[in-house]
Structure 1
C-alpha cells in the first residue's frame, strides 16, 4: 500500500508539471453543466415547489476528516444522525423528519444506491466517499420522482466529481481521537487534448471507535475516465470499498449506560475455564464495487439526453461466536460421546450476502422558453444470495467443510417511467407537474437465517403524481405549494417479521416561502405528511441491529421548518435552522400478555417534536474560517406505545471547526489545514436505541426494556490537505 501511494504521488507530480505546458482552452463552465445532466432528472432548481437543501464540495471539505457522509449532513434542517461506534466512523445512520434511512431514497449520479432488498443505505461500504462528491441535494418530503425505491422522508441525490479542466492532485491526512486516522490521495490529469480526463482517489480510514472494540478498517477507491467534445460527455466510473468493522450494533442496557457507557457486549463468551472473553473476529466484512457508464448529449439549446448504465457487485459476511447452540437449529444430528448425548455446541458462524445489481437509466430534457420538460425511464434487476456457514464448532456432529445451514435467494425487478415539467405561466407564476409509474416484481425462495421458509411472490404497481405552483412576489421572495403522492414496497425484513405486510402510501403537502438577498436568506416550509399503512420502526431490532418495522394504519407528520442565513457583518454570519413538528399514529393497537390493547393516538417512534441547529461563522480572511456548530434534538420515543421506558432524552451538542488555507508559490497550490472538536462540552448523550419485550422475568407479565447506543464525549480530528 505504501508503494502504491508513493507511485500515485509521483504520478500526480509528473501530471501537474506536464499540465503547465498543456493547458486547455476548454470552457470549464460548459463541462460542469454537462456533468449536472447526470442528476438533472432527479433534481429541482432553486425556485421549484420542492423543499430542498444543496451542499457543495466546499461545504463538505471543511469537516471531511474521516467521518461518514451522514455525519457531515448533521446540521441540515430536520436531520438527526447516529453512529454505532459513537464517533461517526463505521456504521452511521441518518433520519430526516423522523423517517428512517430505509425510507430515504439515495442515488449516485442518478443510479439507486439503497440496498434493493433491505431498502437501507450502508455508507460504511463506501468509506471516504465524501471526498469524491461534487455536490448533493437533499429533498425533504416526497420530493421529485427519482430512481429506485420511493422517498418517504427525504431523498439525497449525489453527483460525483466533475470533469476537471486543469490537472491537479491532493494528498490528505487526518488524525484524531480513538486512534482515528484517514489517508487519501487524489489526482486528475485535466483535459488532455481538450477531450480526455482521467482522475481517481485511494483512501484508507482506521479507527478504534469510542465504543469498546468498535474498530473500523476501511479502504476505498474511485476511478473516473471522461471524454468531452462540445455537447458530448461520456464518463466511465469504477468505485467501491472494503469495510471490516467490529460489531457494535447490540447496544447496552440502562444499568450499563450508567456504569460503563463504552461497554460493547458483541463477541462476549465464557471459555471452558469460566473466564469472560471476546471473540476477536466478531466483525462485519463486506466488499462492494460499482461500475457506471454515463453518456450525456446536448444536441442544441433545446434538447439534451442522458444514458446511464450500472453494475454493482456486493459480497461479504458477518461473523459471530455463539454459545450453546442447538444442533437442530443448524440441521445437525445429535451425537453420543462417552455415553452422553450431545445436542448443542459452541460454534462460530458466518452469515453471507452475495448480490448483483444492474441498472439502466435513460432520460431526455427539452427546454424552450417557458417550458422545461424531462422524461425518462429506469430499469433495475437484483439477485441476492443469502447463506450461512459454520467455520468452527466445539462438536462438529455430521457437518462437512463447506456445508451451509441455510440458503435463500431474493430477486427483484424495478421498472419506472416518468415525465415532469415546469411551465412559466407568466413573470409571476410557474407550474410544476410530475407523473411516475413504477412496477416492481419481488420474489424470494429458500430459508432465512433463522431457517424459516420465506416465500414471497409480490407484484406492485404504483402511480406517483406530483404537482406544485411557485409564485414570485418579487425578485427576492417567492412562495410555493406542492402536493405529492408516494407509494413504497416492504423490505425483505418486513416480510420476515410479517408475511402479510402491506405497502405504504404517503400524501405530502408542502407550503413554503423563500426570501433571498446578499445579507439575509430565509426559507420557511410547513408540511403535512398523511400516511396510510406507514411502515414505522417498532423499536425492536433483529440480530444484525436492523430495525424491525410494522404497518401503523393511519398516521401523520405535521411540521414547520425554518432555515436561515444572516450575514451580520462582513466577517460574521449566523446560520440557524429548526423544525417543530407533531408526529402521530392515529390509533395504535398492541398485543400484550395475551390481549389486544388499544392505546389510541400515540407518537411515532424516533420522531422528536423539535430539532434545531445553528452555525456561528467568523471569517476574518477569505482563507480562514472559524465555526461554532450547535445541534439540539428533542426527546423521542423508541417505540410507538408512548412508554416512558422507551424514551430517549433530549440532547444538545456543540462542535468547533476551523479551516485555514495557505496559498503557496512552491510545488503545492495550497495547503488546507482543518480542525474539528466534536462535542466540545463533553455531553453524555444517546442518539439512538431500541426496545425489546421482556416476557420471562416476571411470570404472567411483559414489559418494554430499552437498549442504548451512546455517542462519544469530547473528541477531535485534525487534518492537512496538500493541493497541487
Structure 2
C-alpha cells in the first residue's frame, strides 16, 4: 500500500514408510518427526489447466518468455520477484530501498507495473483501482512458485486490467508426490536476512498438502529504508485420475520505512547517496529530526479454490473462486499543517500545527474465473472469463498534534467500488500440417463508482472489445515464424481521475517473429509496433504521497526489435543473451512552457530507454556446481515527456555474480544447497529510477517562467547475499 489510490503422469506409488526427523534453529529450536505412508493406488496426474487459459502455448504467435523455478531458485535469497526477473528481455527494474528488498518495481517495453497484467493461478493480482502490483505484500512468494510466463505486448486475453506492456502469469507449486521438507536461511549486506521453512506431506490416498512460512528483514541501502515482512503459503490438493481440487491460502504482512521520495538535492546525490528525506522535520530548537515511524504497514491474505475436471479425452474445465482481503495504512509526520483542513479545532488561537496522520486502505476483492477447453489433434478451443468485484475504503485519521491528541478524528472517508466482467474465446487450428491459425476475442465490462476529496463522484461504465489474431508457420524442425495483431483497451486508474486524465486508452499491437531451435542454439526474435491512442504516459512527477503522475498523451507509439537466445558453447558453458532496440515517441506532444501552450512535436516517452541488453553466462565445471555472471545494460532515458536535458537518467551497466552448489547426502538429508550472490560486482554508482517535475513560477515577473526539478533513486553499490538450504 503506497498511495491514496491503493489505500488503495502419470505416477506410480509404492507402499513405503518414510520417517523424517528434522531439527533446526528457526528463531527457536523446533523439531518434528513425520510418518508418511503411500498406498499402492495407481494414479494418473491430471494436467493442470489453472493458468493454461491465460498463457501462451508453444504454437501460439505470442511473444513470451517462460521461466522455471530452477532458473529462479539459485538467486532466491531475499530479493523480490521483479529483481529475480530483471534479466528477461525488455525488463527494467528498480527498488526504493536500493537493494531489491521491500518495494520493488518492473517496467516492460517502457510500461510500468500498472500496465502489466499480473495473475496468480489465473486470478488477477493487480490492485483494481491503482492497477499497480505490489509484490511487497507477498514476501518470499518466489519460494512457492512453479513457473512464470512473461508475455510482452498485448498477449493473450487474461483476467483483470488490460495488458498495455506485458502480462505476467505466475503458477504456484502443484502437488508433490513425495514428502519433503526444506529449511532455508540467508544473510547479507544491509542487515538482510531471509528465513524459510517449507514442507509437503506427499500424495497419500489422493490427498496432499504443502506449506511455507517466511520472514525477510533488511535495513536497506537507503537510510532508514528498513523492511520487516512475514509471508506464508498453504496448498491442499485432492487428486484423482480425472479431477483435481486445490485450495490455496497465502499472503503476508509488511512494515517498511518509507523510501519513495528519492533525492532531489544533487549535492546529496553525489556525496550522501543514502540520504532519505522521508520523515524529516525541524524541531522546536531548529534541529533537523526524522520521525521514527514514517512507515508503510499493510497485510494481505489471498484464498483460492480451484476445481479442474477432465470430462473426456477432449474436454477439460477449470473453475475457481477467490477472495483477497487487505488492510493497512502509512503513517506520516507533517509540519505546519492547517488544523481546519483536518476538521480539528484551533488550540489557544493556534491554527497551524505539526501533526501525525495515517492514511488507510481497507479493501476486499472476490469473484470467479472459469474456462472450458476442447482439444483435438488439429483444434484447441477455449472459452473462459471472470466476474470480479472490488470494494475499497479510503480514510484518514490524525493521531497526534503538537498541542493535543485528537479523539477518533477521521478527516476524510471515501470509497472506490469496481466490478470487472469479461468473456473470451481462444481458438488454435492447424489449417495445414505446418500452418496454425490463432484467434482470441474478448469482451470486457468495467463498472466503477468512487468518491474522493480531489474529484467529483465517479460513476463510469466502460465496455471494451479486444480482438487478437495470428498465424504460426513451422518451416522445418528448426525454423518457425509468426505474425500477430491485437487490440487492447484500458480504463483510467483512480489517480488518473484525481489528475484529470480520464480518457480510456487504446492500443494496436503488431508483432512479427522468428524462432530457431537446434541442439546448441535457440533464438527468438520479434519486431513489434505498438500504436497508442490517449496513452497514459508517466509525466515523471510525483503526487503528494509519492506516487507517479500520468497524463493522456494523444497519439504515441513504440517500435522495436527483441532478440532472446540460448547458446550452448560447450556442455559446461552456456550463454543466454538478449537485446531490445526500440524507439518510443509521443506524437505532436503539447506542453505549457513559460505560460504558453506549445507543440513540441515528437518527443520521447518517459522512462523508455532505446536500448536494453541482458545476459547470463553460466559455467558448470562439475555436476551440481554452477557459476553465473548476469549483466544488464539500460541506455539513457528521459524521466519526462518534453525531452528536457535536465530530465535525463544516465545509462548504466551492472553485473551480478551467482554461485550455487548442491551437496547430495543421504535419504534423510537429501542435500544441502549453498548459494551466493554478489550484486553490482563492479560497485557502480547508478540510479535506476527518478522523477521530473515542472511548474510555472508566476512570482518572478509578468511572464511566467517554467521551473524544472528532478529527483533520483540511488541503488546500492557492491553487496552480497549468501544462503544455505537443507532438503529432507
- What TM bracket, shorter-length normalisation? over 0.9
Aligned to 1:65: 77
Q: Deviations over 1:193-221 (max 9, x none)?
A: 2x001110000000000000000000010
Aligned to 1:600, the other structure's residue is in SS state coil
Partners of 1:566 and 1:9 in 2: CA distance = 45
Q: Is the 8 A contact 1:504 1:532 kept in 2?
A: yes
Could you tell me how far apart the structure 2 residues matched to 1:308 and 1:482 are? 30
Whole-Å separation in 2 of the counterparts to 1:147 and 1:573:
36
SS at match of 1:59: helix
- Summarize the Cα distance change of 1:565–1:287 in structure 2 as closer, same or farther, 3 Å threshold: same
Q: Is the 8 A contact 1:24 1:166 kept in 2?
A: no
Question: Displacement of 1:694 after TM fit?
Answer: 4.6
Of residues 439, 443, 453, the one that matches 1:433 is 439
Aligned ranges 1:141-540 → 2 under 5 Å: 141-193=153-205, 195-253=206-264, 254-335=266-347, 337=348, 341-396=349-404, 400-445=406-451, 447-448=452-453, 452-498=454-500, 501-540=502-541
Residues 508 and 531, structure 2, Cα contact 8 Å, conserved in 1: yes
8 Å CA contact 1:237–1:293 kept in 2: the answer is yes
Specify the alignment match of 2:706 in structure 1. Answer: 702
Give aligned pairs, total. Answer: 702
Question: CA contact under 8 A between 2:24 and 2:30: conserved in structure 1?
Answer: no
**Aligned position for 2:576:** 575
Please name the residue that 1:718 is paired with. Answer: 722
Q: Find 2:38's aligned residue among 22, 26, 44.
A: 22
How far residue 621 of structure 1 moved from its aligned partner, in angstroms, is 2.0
Q: Does the CA contact (< 8 Å) of 1:26 and 1:165 recur in 2?
A: no
SS of 1:469's equivalent in the other structure is strand
1:628 aligns with 2:618: no
Matched-pair contact (CA < 8 Å) for 1:580–1:609: yes
CA distance in 2, matches of 1:6, 1:343: 49
Q: Structure 1 residues 423 and 321, CA, compared in 2 at 3 Å: closer, same or farther? A: same
TM-score by length of 1: 0.95
Q: C-alpha separation between the residues in 1 aligned to 2:158 and 2:31?
A: 41
Contact 1:23 1:166 in 2 (8 A): no
Give the Cα separation in 1 of the matches to 2:510 and 2:67: 24
Name the SS for the 2:492 alignment partner. coil
Q: 1:564 to 1:3 in 2, by over 3 A?
A: closer
CA contact (8 A) 1:34 1:233 kept: no
Offset from partner CA, 1:41-86 (integer Å, 9 cap, x none): 0011122100000011111101000000000000000000000000
**Superimposed CA distance per residue, residues 683-714 of structure 1 (whole angstroms, 9 cap, x where no aligned partner):** 00100000122544855312221100000000
Q: Which stretches in structure 1 are left out of the alignment for 5+ residues?
A: none
Shift of 1:4: 11
Q: Which SS does the other structure have where 1:606 is aligned?
A: coil
Cα distance in 2 for partners of 1:551, 1:127 equals 34
RMSD, aligned α-carbons: 1.6
Residues 589-628 of structure 1 mapped to structure 2, 5 A cutoff: 589-628=590-629
| In structure 2, distance between residues paired with 1:126 and 1:688 | 23
The yes-or-no answer on 1:54 pairing with 2:54 is no
Structure 2 residue 128 is the aligned partner of structure 1 residue 116? yes
Please list the CA deviations of residues 443-499 of structure 1 after superposition, one character each: whole Å capped at 9, or x if unmatched.
Answer: 112x33xxx34411110000000000000010111000000000000000000110x
List per-residue Cα deviations over 1:548-589 (Å, max 9, x = no partner).
111110100000000111000111111100000000001111
Name the structure 1 match of 2:16. Answer: none
Kindly tell me: are residues 400 and 348 of structure 1, through their superposed partners in 2, closer, same or farther at Cα, counting changes over 3 Å? closer
* Cα distance change of structure 1 residues 53 and 476 upon mapping to structure 2, 3 Å threshold: same
1:62 match: secondary structure: helix
Deviations 1:167-191 (A, max 9, x none): 0010000000000000000000011
Q: Which runs of 5+ in 2 are unaligned?
A: 1-22
Given that 1:9 and 1:185 are in contact with CA atoms closer than 8 Å, whether structure 2 keeps it comes out as: no
SS state of the match for residue 255, structure 2?
A: strand
Query: 1:425: Cα distance to partner?
Result: 1.0
Q: 1:70, 1:428 → 2: CA distance?
A: 37
SS of 2:589's equivalent in the other structure is: strand
> Would you identify which runs of 4 or more consecutive aligned residues in structure 1 move more than 6 Å?
none
Instruction: Kindly indicate whether the alpha-carbon contact (under 8 Å) linking 1:284 and 1:318 is maintained by their aligned counterparts in 2.
Output: yes
Distance 1:671 1:147 in 2: 39
Distance (whole Å) between structure 2 residues aligned to residue 320 and residue 505 of structure 1: 37
Cα pair distance change 1:511/1:9, threshold 3 Å: farther
Partner of 1:680: 681
Distance in structure 2 (CA, Å) of the matches to 1:295 and 1:10: 35
After the TM superposition, which residues 630-669 of structure 1 pair with which residues of structure 2 at under 5 Å, given as runs? 630-665=631-666, 667-669=668-670
- Contact 2:400–2:406 (Cα < 8 Å) also in 1: no
Q: SS of 2:612's equivalent?
A: strand
